[in-house]
Structure 1
Amino acid sequence: MTSRDTDTDDKAGVAIRCQDNASVGVTLCDRFSFDADCVRYAVELRAPRLTARVDEVVAWVRDSGLPGFLEGVAADYRGWDGERRRQTDDRDLAVSAAFRPGGHVGLTWALRPWPRAAGGWSASATTWLEAGEQMAALAADVRRFLAEEHG
Protein backbone atom coordinates (compact mmCIF):
# COMPACT_ATOMS: atom_id res chain seq x y z
CA MET A 1 0.00 0.00 0.00
CA THR A 2 1.30 3.44 -0.82
CA SER A 3 0.27 6.84 0.35
CA ARG A 4 1.25 10.40 -0.31
CA ASP A 5 2.22 11.94 3.01
CA THR A 6 2.69 15.52 4.09
CA ASP A 7 4.66 16.33 7.22
CA THR A 8 4.41 19.46 9.36
CA ASP A 9 6.90 21.32 7.13
CA ASP A 10 4.57 20.75 4.15
CA LYS A 11 7.12 18.63 2.26
CA ALA A 12 5.54 15.73 0.42
CA GLY A 13 6.76 12.17 0.55
CA VAL A 14 5.76 8.70 -0.57
CA ALA A 15 5.22 6.00 2.04
CA ILE A 16 5.19 2.36 0.95
CA ARG A 17 3.84 -0.14 3.46
CA CYS A 18 4.11 -3.89 3.06
CA GLN A 19 0.65 -5.44 2.79
CA ASP A 20 1.91 -8.62 4.52
CA ASN A 21 3.48 -6.83 7.50
CA ALA A 22 2.57 -3.19 8.18
CA SER A 23 5.68 -2.71 10.32
CA VAL A 24 7.82 -3.01 7.17
CA GLY A 25 7.97 0.04 4.96
CA VAL A 26 9.91 2.51 2.89
CA THR A 27 9.54 6.29 2.72
CA LEU A 28 10.82 8.60 0.01
CA CYS A 29 11.01 12.10 1.49
CA ASP A 30 12.91 15.37 1.86
CA ARG A 31 13.20 16.07 -1.86
CA PHE A 32 15.38 18.98 -2.91
CA SER A 33 17.12 20.23 -6.04
CA PHE A 34 20.13 22.44 -6.73
CA ASP A 35 19.77 22.52 -10.50
CA ALA A 36 17.58 21.43 -13.41
CA ASP A 37 19.55 18.22 -14.10
CA CYS A 38 18.71 16.22 -10.99
CA VAL A 39 16.78 16.02 -7.77
CA ARG A 40 17.93 14.59 -4.46
CA TYR A 41 15.81 12.88 -1.86
CA ALA A 42 16.06 10.72 1.23
CA VAL A 43 15.04 7.07 1.50
CA GLU A 44 14.10 5.58 4.86
CA LEU A 45 13.66 1.86 5.54
CA ARG A 46 11.91 0.45 8.56
CA ALA A 47 11.25 -3.08 9.74
CA PRO A 48 11.22 -4.73 13.15
CA ARG A 49 14.53 -3.80 14.79
CA LEU A 50 15.70 -1.92 11.68
CA THR A 51 15.74 1.75 10.78
CA ALA A 52 18.02 3.01 8.02
CA ARG A 53 18.24 6.21 6.00
CA VAL A 54 20.23 7.58 3.09
CA ASP A 55 19.95 11.35 2.83
CA GLU A 56 20.97 12.14 -0.75
CA VAL A 57 19.79 9.68 -3.35
CA VAL A 58 20.15 11.31 -6.77
CA ALA A 59 17.53 11.07 -9.51
CA TRP A 60 18.66 12.36 -12.90
CA VAL A 61 16.12 14.14 -15.06
CA ARG A 62 17.67 12.66 -18.25
CA ASP A 63 16.40 9.11 -17.66
CA SER A 64 13.22 7.40 -16.53
CA GLY A 65 14.91 6.09 -13.37
CA LEU A 66 12.88 4.69 -10.53
CA PRO A 67 9.48 5.86 -11.84
CA GLY A 68 10.09 4.16 -15.20
CA PHE A 69 11.21 0.96 -13.50
CA LEU A 70 8.09 0.90 -11.30
CA GLU A 71 5.84 1.68 -14.28
CA GLY A 72 7.35 -1.28 -16.14
CA VAL A 73 6.71 -3.58 -13.18
CA ALA A 74 3.13 -2.29 -12.91
CA ALA A 75 2.53 -2.86 -16.64
CA ASP A 76 3.46 -6.55 -16.26
CA TYR A 77 0.82 -7.21 -13.61
CA ARG A 78 0.26 -10.74 -14.96
CA GLY A 79 3.73 -11.74 -13.87
CA TRP A 80 7.21 -12.63 -15.08
CA ASP A 81 10.00 -15.04 -14.27
CA GLY A 82 13.07 -14.07 -12.31
CA GLU A 83 13.96 -10.74 -10.80
CA ARG A 84 14.09 -7.23 -12.21
CA ARG A 85 16.53 -4.71 -10.81
CA ARG A 86 17.19 -0.97 -10.95
CA GLN A 87 19.88 0.99 -9.13
CA THR A 88 20.88 4.62 -9.01
CA ASP A 89 24.02 5.77 -10.79
CA ASP A 90 25.72 6.17 -7.41
CA ARG A 91 24.52 2.66 -6.41
CA ASP A 92 23.30 3.90 -3.02
CA LEU A 93 19.72 2.72 -3.77
CA ALA A 94 18.81 -0.50 -5.55
CA VAL A 95 15.29 -1.81 -6.04
CA SER A 96 14.54 -5.33 -7.21
CA ALA A 97 11.14 -6.73 -8.10
CA ALA A 98 9.96 -10.34 -7.96
CA PHE A 99 6.52 -11.66 -8.89
CA ARG A 100 4.74 -14.01 -6.48
CA PRO A 101 1.87 -16.27 -7.54
CA GLY A 102 -1.44 -14.73 -6.59
CA GLY A 103 -0.67 -11.37 -8.20
CA HIS A 104 1.77 -9.79 -5.76
CA VAL A 105 5.10 -8.06 -6.30
CA GLY A 106 7.91 -8.02 -3.78
CA LEU A 107 10.00 -4.87 -3.99
CA THR A 108 13.30 -5.20 -2.16
CA TRP A 109 14.71 -1.77 -1.35
CA ALA A 110 18.45 -1.90 -0.62
CA LEU A 111 20.35 1.07 0.78
CA ARG A 112 24.12 1.21 0.59
CA PRO A 113 25.58 4.66 1.06
CA TRP A 114 29.19 5.17 0.03
CA PRO A 115 29.32 1.77 -1.75
CA ARG A 116 33.01 2.08 -2.49
CA ALA A 117 34.07 3.14 1.01
CA ALA A 118 35.68 0.74 3.44
CA GLY A 119 33.51 0.01 6.45
CA GLY A 120 30.29 1.01 4.71
CA TRP A 121 26.94 -0.48 5.59
CA SER A 122 23.90 -1.76 3.78
CA ALA A 123 20.31 -2.48 4.73
CA SER A 124 17.29 -3.80 2.87
CA ALA A 125 13.59 -4.37 3.35
CA THR A 126 10.99 -6.02 1.13
CA THR A 127 7.52 -4.59 0.65
CA TRP A 128 4.79 -6.74 -0.94
CA LEU A 129 2.13 -4.98 -3.02
CA GLU A 130 -0.65 -6.04 -5.37
CA ALA A 131 0.74 -6.30 -8.88
CA GLY A 132 -1.97 -4.18 -10.51
CA GLU A 133 -3.47 -1.10 -8.95
CA GLN A 134 -1.11 -0.78 -5.98
CA MET A 135 1.97 -0.96 -8.23
CA ALA A 136 0.47 1.54 -10.70
CA ALA A 137 -0.40 3.92 -7.84
CA LEU A 138 3.13 3.61 -6.42
CA ALA A 139 4.70 4.36 -9.81
CA ALA A 140 2.48 7.44 -10.25
CA ASP A 141 3.19 8.65 -6.69
CA VAL A 142 6.96 8.30 -7.15
CA ARG A 143 6.86 10.10 -10.51
CA ARG A 144 4.89 13.01 -8.96
CA PHE A 145 7.16 13.13 -5.91
CA LEU A 146 10.33 13.39 -8.01
CA ALA A 147 8.79 16.00 -10.35
CA GLU A 148 7.37 18.30 -7.65
CA GLU A 149 8.71 21.75 -6.99
CA HIS A 150 8.71 22.79 -3.35
CA GLY A 151 8.63 26.51 -2.80
Structure 2
Amino acid sequence: MNAEPAEPTDTPAVTVHSQDDPTARVTLTDRHFPDEYGTGFTVDLHGEGLRARVDSVVVWAWGPEHLADFLDKLAADFRGWDGERTWSTHHLTLRAVFRSGGHVGLTWTIRPWTTQENSWEASVTTWLEGGEQLAAFASDVRRFLNSGTALGGPACSS
Protein backbone atom coordinates (compact mmCIF):
# COMPACT_ATOMS: atom_id res chain seq x y z
CA MET A 1 0.00 0.00 0.00
CA ASN A 2 1.27 3.47 -0.75
CA ALA A 3 -0.52 5.26 2.10
CA GLU A 4 0.97 4.21 5.38
CA PRO A 5 1.40 5.57 8.87
CA ALA A 6 4.93 6.22 10.00
CA GLU A 7 6.55 3.83 12.46
CA PRO A 8 5.18 4.29 15.98
CA THR A 9 7.18 6.99 17.75
CA ASP A 10 6.58 9.81 20.17
CA THR A 11 5.84 11.95 17.12
CA PRO A 12 3.03 10.38 15.08
CA ALA A 13 2.94 10.98 11.35
CA VAL A 14 1.18 9.77 8.24
CA THR A 15 2.72 9.66 4.77
CA VAL A 16 1.12 9.18 1.37
CA HIS A 17 3.32 8.09 -1.55
CA SER A 18 2.33 8.45 -5.18
CA GLN A 19 1.91 5.33 -7.31
CA ASP A 20 2.94 7.24 -10.43
CA ASP A 21 6.03 9.00 -9.12
CA PRO A 22 8.18 7.42 -6.40
CA THR A 23 9.70 10.82 -5.53
CA ALA A 24 6.29 12.40 -4.78
CA ARG A 25 5.11 12.10 -1.19
CA VAL A 26 3.31 14.13 1.45
CA THR A 27 3.85 13.73 5.18
CA LEU A 28 1.65 15.10 7.96
CA THR A 29 3.65 15.31 11.19
CA ASP A 30 4.34 17.35 14.34
CA ARG A 31 0.76 17.11 15.52
CA HIS A 32 -0.17 19.43 18.36
CA PHE A 33 -3.34 20.65 20.03
CA PRO A 34 -3.67 24.45 20.33
CA ASP A 35 -6.81 23.86 22.45
CA GLU A 36 -9.54 21.26 22.87
CA TYR A 37 -11.19 22.35 19.59
CA GLY A 38 -8.26 22.19 17.21
CA THR A 39 -5.49 20.02 15.86
CA GLY A 40 -2.39 21.56 14.36
CA PHE A 41 0.20 19.82 12.21
CA THR A 42 3.03 20.26 9.74
CA VAL A 43 2.76 19.38 6.04
CA ASP A 44 5.93 18.28 4.23
CA LEU A 45 5.84 18.03 0.43
CA HIS A 46 8.52 16.08 -1.44
CA GLY A 47 8.97 15.68 -5.17
CA GLU A 48 11.63 15.64 -7.85
CA GLY A 49 13.76 18.65 -6.88
CA LEU A 50 11.17 19.91 -4.36
CA ARG A 51 10.94 20.00 -0.62
CA ALA A 52 8.50 22.41 0.98
CA ARG A 53 7.13 22.63 4.50
CA VAL A 54 4.43 24.55 6.34
CA ASP A 55 4.25 24.22 10.12
CA SER A 56 1.03 26.07 10.82
CA VAL A 57 -1.89 24.02 9.46
CA VAL A 58 -4.80 23.80 11.93
CA VAL A 59 -8.18 22.11 11.60
CA TRP A 60 -10.96 23.08 14.01
CA ALA A 61 -13.97 21.16 15.35
CA TRP A 62 -16.37 23.90 14.20
CA GLY A 63 -14.67 24.62 10.89
CA PRO A 64 -15.28 23.25 7.43
CA GLU A 65 -15.57 19.56 6.71
CA HIS A 66 -12.94 17.49 8.51
CA LEU A 67 -10.03 16.42 6.27
CA ALA A 68 -10.63 12.73 7.05
CA ASP A 69 -14.35 13.09 6.19
CA PHE A 70 -13.39 14.64 2.84
CA LEU A 71 -11.08 11.69 2.12
CA ASP A 72 -13.76 9.19 3.26
CA LYS A 73 -16.24 10.70 0.78
CA LEU A 74 -13.71 10.39 -2.03
CA ALA A 75 -13.13 6.73 -1.15
CA ALA A 76 -16.90 6.08 -1.03
CA ASP A 77 -17.15 7.37 -4.62
CA PHE A 78 -14.67 4.76 -5.88
CA ARG A 79 -16.60 4.50 -9.17
CA GLY A 80 -15.54 8.05 -9.94
CA TRP A 81 -16.83 11.58 -10.36
CA ASP A 82 -16.57 14.43 -12.82
CA GLY A 83 -14.51 17.52 -12.21
CA GLU A 84 -12.49 18.48 -9.19
CA ARG A 85 -13.35 18.31 -5.50
CA THR A 86 -11.62 20.66 -3.07
CA TRP A 87 -10.96 20.84 0.66
CA SER A 88 -9.01 23.68 2.26
CA THR A 89 -8.03 25.41 5.43
CA HIS A 90 -5.48 28.15 6.04
CA HIS A 91 -2.14 27.17 4.51
CA LEU A 92 -3.37 23.91 2.90
CA THR A 93 -5.61 23.13 -0.07
CA LEU A 94 -6.32 19.59 -1.25
CA ARG A 95 -7.76 19.05 -4.73
CA ALA A 96 -8.99 15.65 -5.87
CA VAL A 97 -9.64 14.36 -9.38
CA PHE A 98 -10.66 10.92 -10.61
CA ARG A 99 -9.11 9.31 -13.64
CA SER A 100 -10.02 6.18 -15.54
CA GLY A 101 -8.70 2.99 -14.03
CA GLY A 102 -9.99 3.88 -10.57
CA HIS A 103 -7.20 6.23 -9.49
CA VAL A 104 -7.54 9.44 -7.50
CA GLY A 105 -5.09 12.30 -7.82
CA LEU A 106 -4.66 14.35 -4.67
CA THR A 107 -2.93 17.69 -5.26
CA TRP A 108 -1.59 19.10 -2.00
CA THR A 109 -0.89 22.87 -2.10
CA ILE A 110 0.72 24.69 0.81
CA ARG A 111 1.14 28.43 1.39
CA PRO A 112 3.02 29.84 4.41
CA TRP A 113 1.32 33.25 4.25
CA THR A 114 -2.28 33.61 3.18
CA THR A 115 -2.50 37.39 3.38
CA GLN A 116 0.62 38.44 1.46
CA GLU A 117 0.51 38.85 -2.31
CA ASN A 118 4.17 37.93 -2.72
CA SER A 119 3.87 34.63 -0.83
CA TRP A 120 5.11 31.38 -2.38
CA GLU A 121 3.12 28.19 -2.72
CA ALA A 122 4.15 24.65 -3.56
CA SER A 123 2.16 21.64 -4.80
CA VAL A 124 2.68 17.90 -5.10
CA THR A 125 0.22 15.42 -6.61
CA THR A 126 -0.05 11.92 -5.20
CA TRP A 127 -2.02 9.19 -6.98
CA LEU A 128 -3.84 6.45 -5.06
CA GLU A 129 -6.22 3.69 -5.97
CA GLY A 130 -9.77 4.77 -5.19
CA GLY A 131 -11.79 2.71 -2.76
CA GLU A 132 -9.87 0.60 -0.23
CA GLN A 133 -6.48 2.29 -0.55
CA LEU A 134 -7.99 5.75 -0.25
CA ALA A 135 -10.24 4.57 2.62
CA ALA A 136 -7.18 3.22 4.48
CA PHE A 137 -5.40 6.56 4.00
CA ALA A 138 -8.48 8.44 5.28
CA SER A 139 -8.48 6.19 8.36
CA ASP A 140 -4.77 6.88 8.95
CA VAL A 141 -5.39 10.63 8.66
CA ARG A 142 -8.32 10.43 11.10
CA ARG A 143 -6.18 8.55 13.66
CA PHE A 144 -3.34 11.05 13.22
CA LEU A 145 -5.57 14.10 13.67
CA ASN A 146 -7.67 12.74 16.53
CA SER A 147 -5.14 10.92 18.72
CA GLY A 148 -4.94 12.65 22.03
CA THR A 149 -7.73 15.17 21.46
CA ALA A 150 -9.86 15.98 24.47
CA LEU A 151 -12.92 16.81 22.39
CA GLY A 152 -15.08 14.19 20.73
CA GLY A 153 -17.05 16.76 18.72
CA PRO A 154 -17.75 16.96 15.00
CA ALA A 155 -14.15 17.09 13.83
CA CYS A 156 -13.17 14.23 16.09
CA SER A 157 -15.90 11.70 15.41
CA SER A 158 -15.23 8.58 13.37
Q: Over aligned residues, Cα RMSD in angstroms?
A: 1.4
Rounded to whole Å, the distance in 1 between the matches of 2:25 and 2:138 is: 16
Q: TM-score, normalised by structure 2?
A: 0.89
What is the match of residue 100 of structure 1? 99
Q: CA deviation at 1:52?
A: 0.3
User: TM-score scaled to structure 1, two decimals?
Assistant: 0.93
| Divergent runs of 4+, >4 A | none
Written as runs of structure 1 = structure 2, the 5 A alignment for 1:1-151 is 1-6=2-7, 10-63=10-63, 64-88=65-89, 90=90, 92-149=91-148
Write the distance in 2 (CA, Å) between the matches of 1:125 and 1:4.
19
SS of 1:26 mapped into structure 2: strand
Distance in 1 between residues matched to 2:16 and 2:22, nearest whole Å: 9
Q: In 1, distance between residues paired with 2:123 and 2:16?
A: 14
- Aligned-pair identity in percent equals 47
Deviation readout 1:84-124 (Å, 9 max, x if unpaired): 00101x2x100010000000000000001212114211000
Structure 2 counterpart of 1:123, one-letter code: A
- Identify unmatched segments of 5+ residues in structure 2: 150-158
CA distance in 1, matches of 2:51, 2:148: 28
Following the alignment from structure 1 to structure 2, what is the Cα–Cα distance between the partners of residues 22 and 78? 25
Aligned length: 147
2: CA distance, partners of 1:102 / 1:118: 39
Return closer, same or farther for 1:135/1:53 CA change in 2, 3 Å cut-off.
same
Q: Deviations over 1:67-87 (max 9, x none)?
A: 111011000000000000010
Q: Is the partner of 2:75 in helix, strand or coil?
A: helix
Structure 1: 5+ residue runs without aligned partners?
none
SS at the partner of 2:13? strand
Question: Within 1, Cα distance between the matches of 2:34 and 2:84?
Answer: 34
